[in-house]
Amino acid sequence: MLKDSLDIYGDDMHEECGVFGIFGVEDAPNLTYYGLHALQHRGQEACGISAFDGDKLNTVKGEGLVTEVFNQQKLSKLKGRIAIGHVRYSTTGGGGANNVQPFSFNHYTGDFALAHNGNLVNSRELARYLEVRGSLFHSSSDSELLAHLIKKEKSENRRIDNIIEALNMLEGAFAFLIMTKNRIYACRDKHGLRPLSIAKLGDGYVISSETCAFDIIGAEFIRDIEPGEVVTIDHHGIRSNHYSLYQRHLMCAMEYIYFARPDSDIEGCNVHSFRKLTGRYLYEQSPIEADVVIGVPDSSISAAIGYSEASGIPYEMGLIKNKYIARTFIQPSQEMRERGVRMKLSAVRSLVKDKRVVLIDDSIVRGTTSLRIVRLLKEAGAKEVHVRIASPAITHPCFYGIDMSTRSELLCARMSIAEAAKAIEADSLEFLSEESLLKAGNRSELCMACFNGCYPTSLYQNKIEEDK
């Protein structure tokens, strides 16, 4: 049965995954390996690469970071000019080896592999639909559903027709890569919730969740895949089909705020520039007299620089992140959790002692991390800590592939801003407005459901029940 999981050990949000694919390029699997390195921030629990060596589909995957799963010996098993890769953080379906992607499937029309970023809100309904028609699932991941839907379609149809029919049955957020012997299909949900872009590399093509992965292998960005679009890449080049007439550009706001790398461009907007502008607007909206501006590393640094530039208050590296803490650091007790935060972040005492600090962060989920950081700064001698958040207050859970708490666990769903400030022991607390968020990206719309509860899709009953 498909199920959801929550990270109970921290306040950080996690994105489900990143996808990467290459067609028509020598050493495609090796280049995919480098592409996955660039996307490692999107998922650290598992990764994998599938490649066609001409006739046979080969896959290497496992739990762990890219450097842990792959070595030269394993990469040598992957040959060919076509490959797809995946990095994963588990949300729907949880962890475990069975849920590591790409998934491989045998079919009389030809073997194929599939990789997915996002979350399907009608996964349980689709699973029941397929189960009564004889489908057997090898994982608890909703990503597997698309493959079974494709396989169930009429055998006389072209593969692209089967894919289009299957995509029209999906509801939610997704970016899919489907690889056959001779081509790659790249698909994006009709709401445009998850990013997916195409680049040129020599005579071949590259597809990635983020444009930063193009730079690492020297590929040249062509365009974003449009919402509701299926792009077919083969020896004929690029062909486009739109499977839905309903199309919106509702990119997840958290891609800009938190998930994407600063050097990525998402739908024409550089992430670093976006975050700097949120910091500027945050100062205009919520000024404060202070001595120093500090950003929570790493995703809040750009916003902190923007706040500093707008305010004239000096920016300092007042918090240092230890990047060598194991991602699987399990803290079974409250004492160990506290120690884990101190291992992950440390305050630079000489920069904050006797100072009025403006602490810039990208978001507040449960508030536990914010509380620990405020305490850390005050224990280091900070006279005041004024928290400024470069996004609106999170008041609703996400059902589209972000590992976020149920509403009852969200700090700002249960408290006013004044109460939340007291809970995290800040001297003041302010959030960026939705209007300023849109302005920073020069956007007319984004998915901001976690801020305002306006979900772009229907929410199925099982999701509502899980939130009670």
List beta partners, residue 347. 319
List beta partners, residue 358. 293, 386
Is residue 272 a contact partner of residue 287, using CB atoms and an 8 Å limit? no
How many other CB atoms are there within 10 angstroms of residue 146's CB atom? 23
Chain-centre distance of CA 265, in angstroms? 14
**Exposure of 50 by Cβ count < 10 A (0-12 exposed, 13-18 middle, 19+ buried)?**
buried
* Ramachandran angles phi, psi of 270, nearest 5°: -70, 135
The secondary element (H helix, E strand) that includes residue 350 is: helix 349-352
Q: Which of 190, 172, 194 is nearest to 242 (CA)?
A: 190
| Beta-sheet strand order (sheet of 204-208) | 57-63, 46-52, 82-88, 17-23, 204-208, 197-201, 220-224
Chain-centre distance of CA 209, in angstroms? 9
Catalytic site residue 269? no
- Strands 46-52, 319-321: pairing is unpaired
How many other CB atoms are there within 10 angstroms of residue 76's CB atom? 11
Is residue 318 a contact partner of residue 294, using CB atoms and an 8 Å limit? yes
What number of residues does the chain have? 468
The CA radius of gyration of the chain, in Å to the nearest whole number, is: 22
Q: Which of 190, 217, 212, 100 is nearest to 400 (CA)?
A: 190
List beta partners, residue 386. 358, 428
Helix intervals (H) in 186-345: 212-217, 253-254, 271-285, 301-311, 334-344
Reading the block at residue 159, the tokens are: 């593969």
DSSP 8-state assignment for residue 309? H
Is residue 227 a contact partner of residue 190, using CB atoms and an 8 Å limit? yes
Q: Which of 17, 47, 212, 447 is catalytic?
A: 17
Instruction: Catalogue the active-site residues.
Output: 17
